[in-house]
Chains A and B, each alone.
Chain A
Amino acid sequence: MIIATTGWIVAAASMALVLRLRTLSAWRMELVARACHELRGPITVARLGLELLAREDGCRPEAVRAIELELASAGVALEDLSVAHQGRRGPWRLGAVDVAALLAESVEAFRPLALARGVELGHHCQGCSGVVGVDRVRLAQATGNLIANAIEHGDGHVELCGRTDCAGLEISVNDGGPGLPAPVGDLVRRARSGRGRRGRGLAIAADVAQRHGGRLVAAADDGGSRLKLELPLKQG
């Protein structure tokens, strides 16, 4: 009798716990959905406003393009966020990309941050042609994360280099800082498993590289760190 009663109590408590967890989960999803809803409007307005600004005389087109790329990245992050509860990511839009233009826009977007941190930010391209089969905005996201990392942890000078050849596309970010605190693979793994606050940008860059059939690697350098996105893409 006592065993049966205890069993019922345990079953009822388990059921209540399950119901509570479900309610909590639904509430979390609702909060995320609301946040997504509230973000869509401002990003839409900002992009439309920027489009209008770009038509005005005296507007620096390279700055406008850089901001537009950042807003597009925010839009992609929003798409990811809105389907995250399904364990999915937002859509990928593969197309042709002008690598030189993309790198220039990425550098332009981070120039104010670099200036504020007293970091000199440069870039150069070696035989950069167009590539195909790339999600432009997500590649910009990956590159931007590497640049932001280098500005934050590097020292003095950050250089972004792009190179295309028959093997594909290579984008590297060099900085004069103390170097990575751990192998890049470990940092990415830690971030992917949700451990620690560091390395999330690296994990995003690694995911973007992987999705394009490539990888994120740390290359040997005389000083500082040098992170490289290697993407086996076709030139277009």
Chain B
Amino acid sequence: MAMNRERPTILLVEDHRTTRTFLADNLTVDGYEILMADCARDALRLLATKFPDLAIVDLGLPDRDGLELLRDVRESDGAAGRIDRHIPLLVLTGRTGELDKLRGFDRGADDYVSKPFSYPELRARIEALLRRTERKESRGLLRAGPIQIDPLARQAWLHGDRLELSKKEFSLLRALASDPTRVFTREELLRGVWGYATIGRTRTLDSHAYRLRRKLGEGGDRLVLNVWGVGYRLMDGAAEEAVT
């Protein structure tokens, strides 16, 4: 999911309403798109459906400890939850002890800011984290859940394991991964990947999708999803958002 550098999206997970509102207002004025959650459950839902560029996480959440939320994100396999396990996570908390900080970093925090904090400093840290992410993206790497794709090297990995894909399988995966929860119509894929000018009755797309799904292993049935009568999408994002 490529970052919108013009207006990056930040998920703000904070249960204290005034802090959340004031922080969101400041960040909005500074040009960020803000998603807000007041508990870990909502945070996970937004991470899985809205794909923010960065998350600011308070540790004292009402339903679960924020450290567990960090662990869930970092251990997400992407196929089930569609959460980008590599999303920059900034912890913003009143727990200020050295041990607390070590625990935070151990569970996957990229940065740790103690309350009370200076807003300009927080903003500078957010920018630094986003810059780092942007550098990775500028290399052209695509990431969708457990799948990582390097279009230049024409290589793909699942959970870090390299996938052996044919030329068309790779192109199909790359096309779907460019917008993982969007449904690509059969026509779009046949034109874009196979270069077909006219779309007749062909099983080419289905057979390639079938083979690609098999190569994606056990979790493959939750990837490369067939939307009957329409086409394919890589992951089921919108559906879950609608029911939660």
| A45-B19, A82-B96 given; A72·B26 CB < 8 A | no
Complex alpha-carbon distance, A49 and B17, angstroms: 13
Neighbour of A44 across the interface among B25, B29, B116, CB < 8 A: B116
Neighbour of A51 across the interface among B18, B96, B115, B119, CB < 8 A: B119
**Are B22 and A48 neighbours in the complex by a CB distance under 8 Å?**
yes
**Are A48 and B119 neighbours in the complex by a CB distance under 8 Å?**
yes
Interface size on A, residues (CB 8 A): 20
Whether B117 sits at the interface, judged by CB under 8 Å, is: yes
Whether B31 sits at the interface, judged by CB under 8 Å, is: no
**Are A45 and B94 neighbours in the complex by a CB distance under 8 Å?**
no
Q: Mark A71-88, 1 if CB is under 8 A from B, else 0.
A: 110110011001000000
Neighbour of B119 across the interface among A40, A47, A75, CB < 8 A: A47
Whether B16 sits at the interface, judged by CB under 8 Å, is: yes
Whether B138 sits at the interface, judged by CB under 8 Å, is: no
Whether B118 sits at the interface, judged by CB under 8 Å, is: yes
| Distance between A194 CB and nearest chain B CB, rounded to angstroms | 26
Q: Mark B8-33, 1 if CB is under 8 A from A, else 0.
A: 00000000101100110110010000
**Are B116 and A40 neighbours in the complex by a CB distance under 8 Å?**
yes
| A37-B94, A79-B96, A82-B96 given; A44·B115 CB < 8 A | yes
| A47-B116, A47-B118, A82-B96 given; A55·B29 CB < 8 A | yes
Whether A41 sits at the interface, judged by CB under 8 Å, is: yes
Q: Mark B104-143, 1 if CB is under 8 A from A, else 0.
A: 0000000000011111000000000000000000000000
| Distance between B29 CB and nearest chain A CB, rounded to angstroms | 6
List the B side residues contacting A41 at CB < 8 Å: 16, 19, 94, 115
Q: Residue of B at shortest CB range from A50?
A: B119
| Distance between B163 CB and nearest chain A CB, rounded to angstroms | 46
**Are B26 and A40 neighbours in the complex by a CB distance under 8 Å?**
no
Whether A104 sits at the interface, judged by CB under 8 Å, is: no
Complex alpha-carbon distance, A97 and B116, angstroms: 21
Highest count of chain B CB atoms <10 Å: which of A43, A45, A72, A75: A45
List the B side residues contacting A2 at CB < 8 Å: none
Complex alpha-carbon distance, A52 and B118, angstroms: 13
| Distance between B16 CB and nearest chain A CB, rounded to angstroms | 6
Neighbour of B118 across the interface among A37, A40, A72, A74, CB < 8 A: A72
List the A side residues contacting B26 at CB < 8 Å: 48, 51-52
**Are A49 and B116 neighbours in the complex by a CB distance under 8 Å?**
no
Complex alpha-carbon distance, A79 and B96, angstroms: 8
Complex alpha-carbon distance, A203 and B16, angstroms: 36
List the A side residues contacting B18 at CB < 8 Å: 45
Neighbour of A47 across the interface among B25, B29, B94, B117, CB < 8 A: B117
**Are B96 and A49 neighbours in the complex by a CB distance under 8 Å?**
no
Q: Mark A42-78, 1 if CB is under 8 A from B, else 0.
A: 0111011101100100000000000000011011001
Complex alpha-carbon distance, A43 and B117, angstroms: 9
Neighbour of A71 across the interface among B16, B96, B115, B116, CB < 8 A: B116
Complex alpha-carbon distance, A43 and B19, angstroms: 10
- Taking CB atoms and an 8 Å cut-off, the chain B residues in 17-76 that contact chain A are 18-19, 22-23, 25-26, 29
Q: Residue of A at shortest CB range from B93?
A: A40
List the A side residues contacting B25 at CB < 8 Å: 52
**Are B116 and A43 neighbours in the complex by a CB distance under 8 Å?**
yes
| Distance between A43 CB and nearest chain B CB, rounded to angstroms | 4
| Distance between B34 CB and nearest chain A CB, rounded to angstroms | 13
List the A side residues contacting B19 at CB < 8 Å: 41, 44-45, 48
List the A side residues contacting B22 at CB < 8 Å: 45, 48-49, 51-52
List the B side residues contacting A48 at CB < 8 Å: 19, 22-23, 26, 119
Complex alpha-carbon distance, A37 and B60, angstroms: 11
Complex alpha-carbon distance, A105 and B96, angstroms: 28
A-B residue pairs in contact (CB < 8 Å), sample of 7: A37-B94, A41-B19, A43-B115, A44-B116, A47-B117, A47-B119, A49-B22
Extra pairs beyond A41-B115, A45-B19 (4, CB < 8 Å)? A36-B94, A44-B115, A47-B116, A49-B22
